Amino acid sequence: MLGQSGDELLDLAIAEPDEAWSVAHAVIAGEADVTALSYAHQTLGIVLRERGDVDLALTHLRVARRCAERASDEDRLADVRATLGGTLAVRGRTAAGLRELDAAVSGARARGPVRPKAQLRRANVLAMAGHHDRALTDLRDAVRGFRRSGDQLWEARALNLRAFVRILRGEFADATGDLHEAESLFRPGDQPFEVLDVRHNLALISFFEGDVPATLSAMTELASAYAELGDPHLELTLDRARVLLVAGLAQEAVDVIESAPTWAQSRPRARAELLVMRAAARLGAGQPEQALEDARASRRLFLRQDRAWWCTRADVVALQARIELGRGSRRAAVALADSLADDATEDAVLAHLLAGRELARTDPAAASAYLSRAAAGRHRGSPLSRATAWLARALELEVGGRPRVLDAVGRGLDALAEHRASLGSPELRALTALHGSDLATLAVRHALPRGPRALVRWSDRARAASLSQPVPAPQDAVIDGLLATIRGLSHRITDEEDPAELQVLVRERAQHERTVRLAWAATPGAGGRDTSVTDGELVAHLGDRVLVQLVDVDGTLHAVVVRDGRWRRIEVGASARAAKAVDAAMYGLRTATRGRPVDLAVLGRRLETALLGDAARLLPAGRPVVVSPPAALLAAPWGLLPVLLDRPVALTPSATAWVRAASAEPRSARAVFVVGPDLPTGGGEVAPVVRMHDGAALLADHSATVAAALAALDGAALGHIAAHGSFRAETPMFSSLHLADGAMTVDDVHRLAHPPHRIVLPACRSGVVAQVGGQDMIGFAAALLGQGTAGVLASIADVDDAATVAVMLDVHAALVAGRRLDEALRDARLAAGSDPVRLATAVAFVALGAA
């Protein structure tokens, strides 16, 4: 056959498909015998299948089967039928494919070279259908057959497939051994796709063992390598989406699925897998209706393809979506869990957890049994899977009315902390809170009866955990270049007046931002363990200050007041009422800063009742107060409350974060002022304020670039950035302050080796954060606190420019006199007197931290 054997031509179909295509067509065009024709049509079938044209591939493979039947060679016929069976399965005709494969295995010579190949192909279809035990039996026999014949290439293929099946069964050590052996047998120059497939499987093991950054990094490299070979590789698309979803980047997972190659839609098997993965991603992105629609559509396809294992996976996503929509079914949950009774996958754990939760209210005994099965894996697996299993254990103990619920919750939170420590992305660290929200709810529910100390201690375990240690930005020239491009685009977006061009610029910026975020996501964490403040440390650092820690317990707000070593808990009222009062106060505040008449005193009294209730009576007159609220209440106008208006008030994401800030010391005495472009006041407060601070540095006009500002602010005792700001709710990591050459983002904050000890940010909404999972947060001010800044003064609303100048002058006069930020802000509120705009502006600023 043009200088090549038939088996060599088949190998070429995978390694060099274009060359194989040409040779096969040349054979068909010549005067070949039926054996050669069977090889040629089989080769074309393989190439077409891999290119996505499955129907035409089946046509050639049926011609190859007829030629092989005429050749009267049982091994030739068996080999063609094995390829035909695998391709039928790709087309979604699993039962028909397995019939061909069964015939291929039984028809091949017992100790000939084809039988193990047919067994390998049957194993692939069995694994695809979820029959993992039968697949492993075939693969065990196939490996033995290839070793007996000395066929190292096919032995490597069998080992690689066996590793994949073992990964699905959670047998990672055995899978790793198979993959390393396969890698040693493949020849990279001759089998580039298959070498990449081994590395893909190794990346999957990293994922299932909990190393998300390493997995994302490996998959990014694999995507580039496959692209160089001209292969979009559908399986990698699916796996990247799964990893992004677990990392908390659900919308990015949806985007990856929707960017899958168009030919995948013509393959029922591929389409079904894409649909079920998109269903899971949409569920994570808060789109349960669309998720349910995708899950149902994928199930219909899986059912037609005889893929019961995959049907069950679709059922798991559908059940979650129905529960989220308030349409859960105890009967469906129990049936699904029972169908997975012998399954050791994470889907089975989740199904048993869902069944247990659905039964908890009506049948605690039955619920306990399902939760016990879900909790069985709490001592093994990745940190996230262990956290889920410990949640199940805590719920099992709760429904059974048994003690030690908090012990199980603590173990679950420890597992989440282990996962968070592996992450080098601030965004992913915060998104870990999504996995821990149920544990946090259980923690405070069971801490409540144990007293105020326990309530503070356990509420603190989950709060703002992403800010527990500084996270440096990755040192990468490509990322640096992308950030410079983003800054330039942000600058152009600000100036662009053409709506069509503006949309183009925004899309381009979003694409670059996504690349930067994914690069960060692939950055490993520094490890280490989170530590919470002890009761004694907290009391010692408070001194004459009073702590008010607000905790939401099952929809009711509780206040713990710590004063002079004494701890008291007060039930405040409904959390929903507090949220409504904050919304009303913020609306009134915005109205007042625009100069419209608003009775701020009335708003303040209503807000005080909703946020503090009777706890307000426990605050001695004049004593400074530290408020540690839930993330949703951090950006409330606390200075508007009558009991807090005339005293220093500092806010903190958690008691632990406040003690860390109170323990920090400045690294210098330097003061640095930065003035961005196009300010209505021209940074009017800066010139007189700079004169207040001896030796202060000033960056203004063209010298106020991002790089220059970062260099000057690093290690400063005090920073002040007068610049326009923007809070990006959809991508809070790119919330920014606008300097001479573009945006200084949250990303840039992480490039500071030593952030300023204290910093003042007069920009509108510079103190607003995006809350994550009700416990954590992402934003400019939050990033500064996490990186080590001890005090941040920032705004939580749009503010009046002229009034802001007056407030800033009052603040800096107090700072020069040696006062803390919370004391300086108190002075500014008092200085506002009866001026409603100036008072509303002062109240729109908050002091975060302890300095």
Residues 184, 172: Cα–Cα separation, whole Å: 18
Q: Are 769 and 779 in contact (CB under 8 A)?
A: yes
Q: How many CB atoms lie within 10 A of CB 144?
A: 14
Q: Which is more confidently placed, 728 or 543?
A: 543
Residue-wise pLDDT tens digits, 173-203: 999 999 999 999 987 667 888 899 999 999 9
pLDDT at 531 over 90: no
pLDDT at 726 over 90: no
Residue that is written with structure tokens 């129990």 in the block: 334
User: What per-residue confidence (pLDDT) applies to 261?
Assistant: 75
Pairing, β 649-651 against β 845-849? parallel
Residues 417, 52: Cα–Cα separation, whole Å: 43
State the pLDDT confidence band at 528, using cuts at 50, 70 and 90: confident
State the pLDDT confidence band at 99, using cuts at 50, 70 and 90: very high
User: What is the average pLDDT across 10-27?
Assistant: 89
Burial class (CB in 10 A: 0-12, 13-18, 19+), 533: buried
Q: Are 179 and 138 in contact (CB under 8 A)?
A: no
Determine phi and psi for 105, rounding to 5 degrees.
-65, -45
Residue-wise pLDDT tens digits, 220-270: 999 999 888 887 788 899 999 999 999 999 999 999 999 887 767 767 888
Q: Which is more confidently placed, 423 or 50?
A: 423
> Under 8 Å CB-to-CB from 788, ≥6 apart: which residues?
470, 664, 754, 755
Q: How many CB atoms lie within 10 A of CB 660?
A: 23
Q: Are 160 and 182 in contact (CB under 8 A)?
A: yes
User: What is the average pLDDT across 67-78?
Assistant: 93
Q: Which is more confidently placed, 833 or 650?
A: 650
Residue-wise pLDDT tens digits, 359-380: 998 999 999 999 999 999 899 8
Q: How many CB atoms lie within 10 A of CB 362?
A: 9
User: What per-residue confidence (pLDDT) applies to 304?
Assistant: 87
Burial class (CB in 10 A: 0-12, 13-18, 19+), 636: buried
User: What per-residue confidence (pLDDT) applies to 564?
Assistant: 96
3-state secondary structure of 50: helix
pLDDT at 753 over 90: yes
Return the structure tokens found at 840: 């509303």
pLDDT at 2 over 60: no
Residues 91, 101: Cα–Cα separation, whole Å: 15
Residues 566, 562: Cα–Cα separation, whole Å: 6
State the pLDDT confidence band at 835, using cuts at 50, 70 and 90: very high
Q: How many CB atoms lie within 10 A of CB 140?
A: 14
Burial class (CB in 10 A: 0-12, 13-18, 19+), 530: middle
Cross-strand pairs, 736: 726, 745
Residue-wise pLDDT tens digits, 454-486: 999 999 998 989 898 899 988 888 888 988 898
Residues 470, 60: Cα–Cα separation, whole Å: 60
Q: Which is more confidently placed, 558 or 488?
A: 558
Residues 160, 158: Cα–Cα separation, whole Å: 5
Return the structure tokens found at 88: 């039928």
The candidate with the shortest Cα–Cα distance to 40, out of 305, 262, 48, 735, is 48
HEC profile of 534-554: CHHHHHHHHCCCEEEEEEEEC
User: What per-residue confidence (pLDDT) applies to 53?
Assistant: 85
User: What per-residue confidence (pLDDT) applies to 615?
Assistant: 98
User: What is the average pLDDT across 833-840?
Assistant: 92
Q: Give the CA diameter of the chain.
A: 104
Residues 469, 688: Cα–Cα separation, whole Å: 36
DSSP 8-state secondary structure symbol assigned to residue 423 = B
User: What per-residue confidence (pLDDT) applies to 636?
Assistant: 95
3-state secondary structure of 640: helix
C-alpha distances (whole Å) from 419 to each of 347, 367, 590 are 19, 28, 40
Report the half-sphere exposure of 738 (CA within 13 A, side-chain side): 17
User: What per-residue confidence (pLDDT) applies to 44?
Assistant: 96
pLDDT at 3 over 70: no
3-state secondary structure of 726: strand
Q: How many CB atoms lie within 10 A of CB 359?
A: 22
Q: Are 105 and 85 in contact (CB under 8 A)?
A: no
pLDDT at 311 over 70: yes
C-alpha distances (whole Å) from 494 to each of 221, 721, 742, 761 are 35, 19, 9, 20
Return the structure tokens found at 343: 């399954």
Q: Are 367 and 359 in contact (CB under 8 A)?
A: yes
Whole-number average pLDDT of the chain? 92
Residues of the chain above pLDDT 70, percent: 99
Is the four-CA dihedral 258, 264, 266, 271 of positive or negative sign? negative
User: What per-residue confidence (pLDDT) applies to 15?
Assistant: 80
pLDDT at 341 over 90: no
Composition of the chain by helix, strand, coil, percent to 5: 65, 10, 25
Residues 516, 506: Cα–Cα separation, whole Å: 15
Residues of the chain above pLDDT 90, percent: 73
H or E segment and range at residue 384? helix 383-399
pLDDT at 412 over 60: yes
Determine phi and psi for 184, rounding to 5 degrees.
-75, -20
State the pLDDT confidence band at 323, using cuts at 50, 70 and 90: very high
By mean pLDDT, which of 136-140, 251-255, 592-596 is the weakest? Answer: 592-596
User: What per-residue confidence (pLDDT) applies to 1?
Assistant: 53
Q: Are 674 and 709 in contact (CB under 8 A)?
A: yes
The candidate with the shortest Cα–Cα distance to 142, out of 129, 128, 124, 130, is 124
Residues 162, 139: Cα–Cα separation, whole Å: 6
Q: Are 205 and 175 in contact (CB under 8 A)?
A: yes
Residue-wise pLDDT tens digits, 544-575: 999 999 999 999 999 999 999 999 999 999 99
pLDDT at 596 over 60: yes
User: What is the average pLDDT across 703-717?
Assistant: 96
pTM of structure: 0.86
